[in-house]
Structure 1
Amino acid sequence: MTAMGTRIEEAGTLIREPDSVVFRRDLGGRWRLDLHRVGIDLAEQNAGQRVTITGTVVAKGLIDIDTLAPEA
């Protein structure tokens, strides 16, 4: 488990689920995303796509996202 407060910068794929969008990590596993800074619309537009995220771990398996961008 990654400690709360840890900064994250990772590449992976956004996956649309019935009630949310989650991030499937290239390193294995998934993060739930708190999208209040970037907006759910941006995440939904990029669902199914490869992206890079930056943010902070705020709870077990949950990242507070600062940036979300299509992978370059």
Structure 2
Amino acid sequence: MISIVLNDEVVTVSIGTSLVKVLEHQTIALDAVAIALNSEVVPRSRWPHIVCQQDDQLEVFSVVAGG
């Protein structure tokens, strides 16, 4: 197990957990958010391929359409 920070809250996940799995475990809708990993926005296409590391900082933002 490793610890990551998700929106300022420490969360424990299994070694090898992808960004997608973190969101699914937290019941966050994948189609309505954007992710910054260690202060860098991550393209949605990379989410399944990025594995969380100890002390990663994840910020999940709601995507809001507007004009």
TM-score by length of 1: 0.29
Q: Which has the higher contact order (CA 8 A, sep 6+)?
A: 2
Select the structure that is richer in helix: 2
TM-score (normalizing by structure 2): 0.30
Greater Rg by CA: 2
